[in-house]
């Protein structure tokens, strides 16, 4: 079982409009809702890959009730029933709800999809304030769940009321239980969390630059390792992934640039990395899986889902290349690095 | 008791953002929710004017539950507790919930207020589909409530599933019960509804032009009377109201142009007209009240509420001027009409 933690869950609402006109009244043509938050998205993809997962974090209020109802309705498999199942190797597994109830109300996020331009305008509500007693109840549940997990993923932002060192605390607890732990967050929670020595961190280019001060991915990824990440896999958008690990450094890139909705692409990459870790795949295979899942998510029509046919097609075509293991030399002559 | 009908109720959500950037991710700084839909807004203002009201229409799903809970929490007075009560003549009365439950889910409307520009971007979900059995249940309840009402107001759009002649049917039922009935809607439901001879219709300039084909307000207002409206009061935005009635025609305008959020200004005008009708005020007093309430709504910081101090200040300063009662002459020489 893989445990995913989403402290700031959300009811993700998508509005389709003919065209979004700011400062005017816009009729919404179609409304859809799904359980959201990065850890929940990761669990959905893990389920589609055949990995049993448990989701925890906080949930409350009417929007929280709606989230839990939708999560239960997704049933085994995570992906809604209409998703194409073309790859015989891909099977569905259950997502178990272990969310901790709180007095506050789960936030909504609204994605307004302009059907004329295809662009999305995102509105994210602030999360509910979590009380110290609710955090304590979560920790008790988390320790019990982490002890049973093959791996733990800590995903997304912190809601108000949670101390900025919360992820560092959760990393230490997972490590104390001897469980591999992945951290995917940003800003100060990432800075504190990485110092607690997680097994894997997956920053995107902006998060990595904010953490290290460097926009040069290879240097920044190696810097992030020095800050405490045992392995660091940076997601570089269309350029794929860059990994710095104790076993070596690799770049993994999709065969062609893909166009579509990047929402959830990072979460799919996390699911690819986690499943590969649990299956003890060599790094190049883990990275190829993460890149193919990520690209197949961009290609899927619905935000946060992946196109299984595209995944099966892309997986053998991801180019994984080992990088020079001479960071010191590179740091003296950064311009020569391609 | 005044009965207000809102067939397409809504949970009105307001998002405050530092600035709304289309096609980007926007953090919402503050979220507020209130029961919405035009008839509910009218009832809230009637309550603040001391008129007992009953709200009916349809409500369903989690958003419907939230709407009813918020309506009950507003308590006697309609206006939230923080509203200034400066006018001793203005007292609060109860708003009674007689909404009819449906299987569908009440729609949300989202008003995104850009705090940099002050502009609002509105996103309106489509309403739930109402079944024939739900419409039949509503009609039974409506006939019973209308028979006890001093006046009936039919407000807003029709949700999917309701036949386009629904307002005409409700106008006829109110008239059969001997109750004065006001209609405030648009498009084909207005066209059909006005033919059933309501006592009062309150179109805005666009609705009036769509109905009559004329952008000349006095001519269009008189045309709307010929189509069946016993009295027609057109709301002309900052220019105030134009009334064509069996007793004469008047213009009523605020003393100065007011700037602010016009959301709910038309609903406040309806509440002013209805309360004046029930109190048997002469037309000029009804119109002055409607204009002052409408302007005080534009001036209030929260959408759909009115500033009671501004109302008390504006009321004696509204200019009501009688219009020429020579529509035939005017129709031959429209350019001479000022």
Distance (Å, rounded) from C-alpha A134 to C-alpha B22? 36
pLDDT score for B33: 94
pLDDT score for A326: 57
Question: Which chain B positions have a beta carbon within 8 Å of A65's beta carbon?
Answer: 62
pLDDT score for B203: 97
The count of other CB atoms within 10 Å of the CB of residue A220 is: 23
Question: Which chain A positions have a beta carbon within 8 Å of B117's beta carbon?
Answer: 23
Residues contacting B112, CB < 8 A, separation 6+: A123, B15, B17, B20, B26, B120, B121, B122, B123
* Predicted confidence pLDDT, tens digits, chain B (338 residues): 999 999 999 999 999 999 999 989 999 999 999 999 999 999 999 999 999 999 999 999 999 999 999 999 886 544 444 344 444 344 578 999 999 999 999 999 999 998 888 888 999 999 999 999 999 999 999 999 999 999 999 999 999 999 999 999 999 999 999 999 999 999 999 999 999 999 999 999 999 999 999 999 999 999 999 999 999 999 999 899 999 999 999 999 999 988 887 888 999 999 999 999 999 999 999 999 999 999 999 998 777 789 999 999 999 999 999 998 654 444 443 333 33
C-beta of residue B130 within 8 angstroms of C-beta of residue B107: no
Q: Give phi and psi for A276, each to the nearest 5.
A: -65, -35
- Is A338 a member of any domain? no
Catalytic residues of B: 267
CA A249 distance to own-chain centroid? 21
Structure tokens at A281: 């795949």
CA distance B16 to chain A (A): 10
A330-334 own/partner pairs: CB under 8 Å, 24+ apart = A330/A218, A330/A219, A331/A219, A334/A216, A334/A219
* CB contact (8 A) between residue A110 and residue B122: no
Place of tokens 């912190």: A158
Query: 3-class DSSP state for residue B159?
Result: coil
Distance (Å, rounded) from C-alpha B85 to C-alpha B77? 11
**Could you say which residues from 98 to 117 on chain A have a Cβ atom under 8 Å away from some Cβ of chain B?**
110, 112, 114, 117
Question: Which chain A positions have a beta carbon within 8 Å of B20's beta carbon?
Answer: 22, 121
Exposure of A222 in the CB half-sphere (CA atoms within 13 A):
16
Distance (Å, rounded) from C-alpha B165 to C-alpha A21? 31
- Is A87 a member of any domain? yes
Numbers of helices and strands, H then E, in chain B:
11, 16
* β partners of residue B107: B10
* CB contact (8 A) between residue A20 and residue B22: yes
- Strand B248-253 relative to strand B319-322: parallel, antiparallel, unpaired? antiparallel
- Is A336 a member of any domain? no
Structure tokens at B192: 């059909």
Residues contacting A132, CB < 8 A, separation 6+: A161
pLDDT per residue as tens digits for the range A116-169: 888 889 999 999 999 999 999 999 999 999 999 999 999 999 999 999 999 999
Q: What is the DSSP string of A186-212?
A: -HHHHHHHHHT--SEE--BHHHHHHHH
Distance (Å, rounded) from C-alpha B63 to C-alpha B44? 19
pLDDT per residue as tens digits for the range A43-74: 999 999 999 999 999 999 999 999 999 999 88
The candidate with the shortest Cα–Cα distance to A191, out of A208, A176, A178, is A208
Q: Which range of residues forms the domain containing residue B80?
A: 2-336
Average pLDDT over residues A277-285: 97
Q: Give phi and psi for A225, each to the nearest 5.
A: -65, -40
Q: Does A15 touch chain B (CB under 8 A)?
A: yes
pLDDT score for A204: 95
Q: What is the DSSP string of A223-266?
A: HHHHTT-SEEEEE-GGG-EEEEETTEEEEEE-SS---S--TTHH
CA distance B24 to chain A (A): 5
- Strand A30-36 relative to strand A10-17: parallel, antiparallel, unpaired? antiparallel
Average pLDDT over residues A83-96: 60
ipTM: 0.82
pLDDT score for A335: 39
C-beta of residue B135 within 8 angstroms of C-beta of residue B167: no
- Number of compact structural domains in chain B: 1
Closest CA in chain A for residue B69? A62
A330 pLDDT tier (thresholds 50, 70, 90): very low
- Strand B107-114 relative to strand B120-124: parallel, antiparallel, unpaired? antiparallel
Exposure of A128 in the CB half-sphere (CA atoms within 13 A):
25
- Strand A2-6 relative to strand A53-59: parallel, antiparallel, unpaired? parallel
In which element (H, E) is residue A288 found? helix A283-299
Distance (Å, rounded) from C-alpha A122 to C-alpha A111? 5
Q: What is the pTM of this model?
A: 0.85
DSSP type of residue A214? -
**Nearest CB to B125; choose among A23, A31, A62:** A31
pLDDT per residue as tens digits for the range A169-180: 999 999 999 999
Residues contacting B171, CB < 8 A, separation 6+: B154, B181, B183, B193, B196, B197, B198
- Number of residues written out for chain B: 338
Q: How far is CA A193 from CA A135, A139, A242, A274, in A?
A: 17, 16, 20, 18
| End-to-end CA gap in chain B | 40
Distance (Å, rounded) from C-alpha B128 to C-alpha B139? 18
Interface mutation vs chain B, best among A18, A19, A20, A22, most B CBs within 10 Å: A22
CA distance A111 to chain B (A): 9
Distance (Å, rounded) from C-alpha A124 to C-alpha B28? 6
Q: What is the CATH number of the domain that holds B221?
A: 3.40.1190.20
Handedness of CA B246, B247, B251, B254 (dihedral sign): negative
CA distance B149 to chain A (A): 33
Question: Which chain A positions have a beta carbon within 8 Å of B105's beta carbon?
Answer: none
- Is A196 a member of any domain? yes
Residues contacting A306, CB < 8 A, separation 6+: A45, A48, A268, A293, A296, A297, A299, A300
pLDDT per residue as tens digits for the range A222-263: 999 999 999 999 999 989 999 999 999 999 999 998 888 788
Of all residues in chain A, what percent carry a pLDDT higher than 70?
Answer: 91
């Amino acid at each position: 079982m893989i445990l995913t933690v989403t402290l700031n869950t959300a009811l993700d609402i998508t509005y389709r409009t003919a065209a979004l006109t700011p400062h005017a009244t816009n009729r919404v043509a179609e409304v859809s809702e799904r359980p959201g938050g990065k850890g929940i998205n990761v669990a959905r993809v893990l389920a589609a890959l055949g990995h049993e997962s448990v989701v925890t974090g906080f949930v409350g209020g009417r929007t929280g009730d709606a989230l839990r109802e939708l999560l239960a309705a997704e049933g085994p498999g995570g992906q809604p029933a209409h998703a194409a199942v073309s790859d015989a190797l891909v099977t569905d597994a259950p997502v178990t709800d272990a969310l901790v109830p709180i007095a506050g109300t789960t936030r909504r996020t609204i994605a307004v999809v302009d059907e004329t331009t295809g662009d999305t305008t995102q509105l994210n509500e602030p999360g509910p304030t979590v009380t110290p007693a609710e955090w304590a109840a979560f920790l008790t549940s988390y320790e019990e769940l982490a002890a049973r997990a093959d791996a733990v993923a800590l995903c997304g932002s912190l809601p108000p009321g949670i101390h900025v060192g919360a992820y560092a605390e959760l990393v230490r607890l997972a490590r104390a239980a001897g469980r591999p732990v992945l951290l995917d967050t940003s800003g100060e929670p990432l800075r504190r969390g990485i110092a607690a020595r997680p097994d894997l961190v997956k920053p995107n280019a902006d998060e990595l630059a904010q953490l290290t001060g460097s926009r040069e991915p290879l240097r920044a990824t190696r810097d992030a390792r020095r800050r405490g990440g045992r392995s660091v896999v940076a997601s570089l958008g269309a350029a794929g992934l860059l990994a710095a690990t104790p076993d070596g450094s690799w770049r993994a890139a999709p065969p062609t640039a893909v166009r579509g909705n990047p929402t959830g692409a990072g979460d799919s990459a996390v699911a690819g990395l986690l499943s590969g870790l649990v299956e003890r795949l060599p790094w190049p295979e883990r990275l190829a899986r993460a890149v193919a899942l990520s690209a197949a998510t961009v290609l899927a029509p619905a935000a946060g889902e992946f196109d299984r046919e595209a995944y099966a097609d892309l997986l053998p075509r991801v180019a994984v290349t080992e990088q020079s293991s001479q960071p010191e030399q590179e740091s003296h002559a950064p311009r020569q690095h391609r």
